[in-house]
Amino acid sequence: MIRIVGGKHRGKMISVPEGNFTRPTTNRVRESLFNILESKSLLHGVSVLDGCAGSGSLGLEALSRGANHATFFDVNKQALKTLEQNISFLKEDKSTNIYLADVTDPPKNKRKEVCSIVFLDAPYNSDVPIKALSALIDKSWIQKGSLIIIECAKHTALRENTNLKEIDFRAYGSTELHFLEYCPTL
C-alpha cells in the first residue's frame, strides 16, 4: 500500500500490484514532483497521461491535486485490475480512462482533449521513454507545449530529441526526474 500525499485524497492508501513487475514511485519523489507542478500551477483542470501506470499512483495523485482527467496505460492485466480497484476506491471512475496497452504502441487518441502532462515511469534502464514519446506524438496524445516527466535511474542518458526541451531536472537518491517540454520545430 502507498498513500496519496496531497490534495482531496490526501492520506488515502491505495493498493500496489503484487509481485515485482512494478516499481511504484516513492512517496518522497512523488510528493516532490507534485509540489513542483503545483508551485507552477500546472495541474488545475488539465488532462494527464500515466504511461506505465502500475498502481496508477502518478495519475491518481494528479487527480487528487486538481487534474480533471487521467488516462492510464499498462501492459499487465494484474496491474490494471489493481488500478481499477484504486480508481473505484477513490471514486474517480468518471475522470479516468484505462487501456491495456503498451505506451510504446498506444491506440489512437479519440478524445478531443490531448494530455497536458505525461508521466513516464518506465522500467529503469530501458528505452521505453524514448519509444513512447514518438508513439504518443504520432497517435495524438500530446501536443506542442505538453510537459513530459520521465522518472529514471540516476545517470540515465536520455537520447536527445530536437523536439524536446529539458526545462527542469531533479535527483532524489538513485532516482532522477527529467521535465521535458514538447516543442516541435517548424
Residue-wise pLDDT for 64-73, tens only, equals 999 999 999 9
Residue-wise pLDDT for 75-130, tens only, equals 999 999 999 999 999 999 999 999 999 999 999 998 877 899 999 987 666 667 77
For 140-166, letters b (16+ CB in 10 Å) and e give ebbeeebbbbbbbeeeeebeeeeebee
175 membership: H or E segment, kind and range: strand 175-182
Q: Could you tell me if 139 and 106 are in contact, meaning their C-beta atoms sit under 8 angstroms apart?
A: yes
Domains of the chain: 2-182 (3.40.50.150)
pLDDT attached to residue 121: 87
pTM: 0.91
C-alpha cell at 73: 496505460
134 membership: H or E segment, kind and range: helix 128-138
Q: What is the DSSP letter of 19?
A: S
For the segment 1-24, the average pLDDT, to the nearest whole number, is 86
Residue-wise pLDDT for 141-151, tens only, equals 998 999 999 98
